[in-house]
A and B are shown apart, each in its own frame.
Chain A
């Protein structure tokens, strides 16, 4: 069975600080997909990234960066120079290849990030 652990439940930072959100996963599959979503107070889930298990390259998108380490089964998310608009709940999720890359997801419990001005 697959599992996603987001050990941090709530993080509070001051604007312009960097913050890293941790994600550890468990799966028996050799091929799988990892996702990060942002959920602002309005409720919708905003897609941030999808990464397959064969691509361990780190990715940077503006102030966002992701560090994928298969050796430690982690897919951590860093926000550089945080802003108040980054305040939201962030979910890490996993899907297995045998059900398709874009298939049902197993979610972590989410991390509530509060960025104070």
Chain B
């Protein structure tokens, strides 16, 4: 079964509004989670590294004020897309490093965001 859960799986929002996506590690604590973005038929691009209790580290070219990341607990990281625009429509997926015996990187189910 899934060890990293994302919610919502699909969301449609209006331009100018904000939308929050949650990423939870289900049976382990994750001090670090990662947020990726994937455009249709393209690869995954790292957006930011989410660190529990501290500020996220954003990749070059990612607007930190637009993509707000909060990692308030060891099992939850959130990505908020602020003032969404149609070009923000994409597939967003998070990952977390598991702990033994799940010693690898697990991904959530992903969230499809459509901005209309």
**Cα(A16)–Cα(B59), bound, Å:** 42
CA distance A109 to B46 in the complex (A): 13
> When the two chains form their complex, are residues B43 and A102 in contact, meaning their CB atoms are under 8 A apart?
no
Query: In the complex, what distance in Å separates the CA atom of A35 from the CA atom of B112?
Result: 24
Whether B105 contacts A35 by the Cβ 8 Å rule is yes
Whole-angstrom distance between the alpha carbons of A104 and B69 in the complex? Answer: 16
Is A117 on the interface with B (CB-CB < 8 A)? no
Interface string of B31-45 (1 = CB under 8 A from A): 010100000011111
In angstroms, Cα B104 to Cα A16, docked, is 30
Total A residues in contact with B, Cβ cutoff 8 Å:
22
* Cβ of A112 to closest chain B Cβ, rounded Å: 8
Q: Main SS of chain A's interface residues?
A: loop
Picked from B42, B45, B98, B107, the residue with its CB within 8 Å of the CB of A45 is B107
Interface SS, B side: strand
Q: Report the number of A-B residue pairs with Cβ-Cβ less than 8 Å.
A: 59
Question: Does A109 lie within 8 Å of B110, measured CB to CB?
Answer: no
| Interface residue? B52 (CB, 8 A) | no
> In chain A, residues 74-116, which have Cβ atoms closer than 8 Å to a Cβ of chain B?
91, 95, 100-110, 112
Whether A104 and B109, one on each chain, are in contact in the complex, defined by CB atoms closer than 8 angstroms, is: no
Q: In the complex, are the beta carbons of A105 and B42 less than 8 A apart?
A: no
Q: B44 and A43: CB pair below 8 A?
A: no
Shortest CB distance B33–A (Å): 10
- From B42, B107, B112, name the one whose CB has the most chain A CB atoms within 10 angstroms: B107
- Contact yes or no, A47 B105, CB < 8 A: yes
Q: Quick check: is A55 within 8 A (CB to CB) of the other chain?
A: no
Query: Which residues of A lie under 8 Å from residue B41 when comparing CB positions?
Result: 112
A63 → chain B closest CB, angstroms: 20
A50 within 8 A of B: yes
Chain B residues proximal to chain A, CB less than 8 Å: 2, 32, 34, 41-46, 49, 91, 93, 95, 97-98, 103-110, 112
Listed from nearest, the 5 A-B pairs whose CB atoms lie closest are A102-B97, A45-B107, A43-B110, A44-B109, A109-B43
